[in-house]
Structure 1
Amino acid sequence: MDPSSPAATTGIDDFVHVGEGDPISGENSENISENEGGNEGNDGNSFHERKVLPPEFSRSTVKLTCDSVAEGGECDVYLVGTAHVSTVVFLELCSGRIAVLTPQNLKVPTIGEMVDMWKKNHNPFGILYSWFLAKVASKLEVLPGAEFRVAYEEATKYGAKVILGDRPVQITLRRTWAKMPLWHKTKLLYSLMFQAVFLPSPETLTKTLKEMDDIDMLTLVIQEMSKQFPTLMETLVHERDQYMSATLLRTAREHNSVVAVVGKGHLPGIQKYWKQPVEVKQLLTIPSQKETVPVRKILATIGVTVAGVAIISGLYLSSRK
Structure 2
Amino acid sequence: MIYKTCRFVKSWYSRGFEIGLVFNQLQRSNHTVCSIFPRNFSATTSIDLPKSATLLHSDNEATVVLLGTVHFSKQSVEDVSEIVRAINPNAILVELCRQRVSLLELDDKKFLEDAKNFDAQKLKEAVKGQNFVSGMLHAMLLKTYADIAKELGVAPGGEFRRAYQEMKKIPGCKLFLGDRPIQITIARAFQSLSVYELGQVMYHLTTSNPKPIDKLQLEKYKDRDYVQAQFEEITKDVPAFKKIFHVFVDERDKCLAYSLQECVRSVVKNPRVLAVVGMGHVDGIVKYYGKMRQEDIVPLLLLPPRPYYKVLLAKGMKLTFYFLIFSFFFRLIFG
Q: Cα deviation per residue 1:251-304 (whole Å; 9 max; x = unaligned)?
A: 112321111111111111100001223510011011112124525999xxxxxx
Larger CA Rg, structure 1 vs 2: 2
Deviating more after overlay: 140-149 vs 122-131: 122-131
Q: Cα deviation per residue 1:89-116 (whole Å; 9 max; x = unaligned)?
A: 0011111111110132134553344445
Which residue is equivalent to 1:13?
11
Question: Matches of 1:254 and 1:131 in 2, distance apart?
Answer: 38
Q: Residue 206 of structure 2 is aligned with which of 175, 193, 213?
A: 193
Q: Are residue 263 (structure 1) and residue 282 (structure 2) matched? A: no
Point out the structure with the larger helix share: 2
Q: CA deviation at 1:149?
A: 0.3
Letter of the structure 2 residue corresponding to residue 78 of structure 1: V
Q: Are residue 78 (structure 1) and residue 65 (structure 2) matched? A: yes
Question: Matches of 1:121 and 1:280 in 2, distance apart?
Answer: 25
| Contact 2:250-2:284 at 8 Å conserved across structures | yes
Which segments of 5 or more consecutive residues in structure 2 lack a partner in the other structure?
29-42, 68-78, 318-335
Q: CA deviation at 1:62?
A: 1.1
Q: Are residue 276 (structure 1) and residue 291 (structure 2) matched? A: yes
TM-score (norm 1): 0.69
Q: Cα deviation per residue 1:114-135 (whole Å; 9 max; x = unaligned)?
A: 4456662342333333333433
Question: Matches of 1:127 and 1:20 in 2, distance apart?
Answer: 31
SS in 1 for 2:57: strand
| Contact 1:226-1:233 at 8 Å conserved across structures | no
Q: 1:17 to 1:186 in 2, by over 3 A?
A: same
Letter of the structure 2 residue corresponding to residue 93 of structure 1: L
Q: 1:121 to 1:210 in 2, by over 3 A?
A: closer
| Contact 2:221-2:227 at 8 Å conserved across structures | no
Q: Residue 87 of structure 1 is aligned with which of 81, 90, 93?
A: 90
Question: Matches of 1:218 and 1:169 in 2, distance apart?
Answer: 22
Which residue is equivalent to 1:287?
304
Q: 1:103 to 1:139 in 2, by over 3 A?
A: same
Q: 1:231 to 1:96 in 2, by over 3 A?
A: same
**RMSD in angstroms over aligned alpha carbons?**
3.5
Which residue is equivalent to 2:151?
139
Q: Cα deviation per residue 1:136-182 (whole Å; 9 max; x = unaligned)?
A: 33333321100000011001111310001111111111111111122
Q: 1:175 to 1:224 in 2, by over 3 A?
A: farther
Which residue is equivalent to 1:103?
106
Superposition pairs of residues 77-226 of structure 1, within 5 angstroms: 77-80=64-67, 82=80, 83-84=83-84, 85-104=88-107, 105-106=111-112, 107-108=114-115, 110-115=119-124, 120-122=129-131, 123-124=134-135, 125-159=137-171, 160-195=173-208, 198-203=209-214, 206-215=215-224, 225-226=234-235
Deviating more after overlay: 266-275 vs 118-127: 118-127
Question: Matches of 2:129 and 2:196 in 1, distance apart?
Answer: 24
Which residue is equivalent to 1:306?
none
Letter of the structure 2 residue corresponding to residue 273 of structure 1: Y
Question: Matches of 1:216 and 1:11 in 2, distance apart?
Answer: 34
| Contact 1:93-1:164 at 8 Å conserved across structures | yes
| Contact 1:86-1:259 at 8 Å conserved across structures | yes
Question: Matches of 1:221 and 1:34 in 2, distance apart?
Answer: 45
| Contact 2:17-2:97 at 8 Å conserved across structures | yes
Q: 1:223 to 1:76 in 2, by over 3 A?
A: farther
Q: 1:162 to 1:274 in 2, by over 3 A?
A: same
Q: CA deviation at 1:213?
A: 3.1
Question: Matches of 2:231 and 2:145 in 1, distance apart?
Answer: 11
Aligned residues: 261
* Aligned residues with identical type, % of pairs: 25
SS in 1 for 2:251: helix
Q: Residue 57 of structure 2 is aligned with which of 47, 65, 76?
A: 65
SS in 2 for 1:13: helix
Letter of the structure 2 residue corresponding to residue 194 of structure 1: T
Which segments of 5 or more consecutive residues in structure 1 lack a partner in the other structure?
1-5, 24-31, 36-49, 299-321
| Contact 1:180-1:231 at 8 Å conserved across structures | yes
Question: Matches of 1:13 and 1:222 in 2, distance apart?
Answer: 34
Deviating more after overlay: 89-98 vs 270-279: 270-279
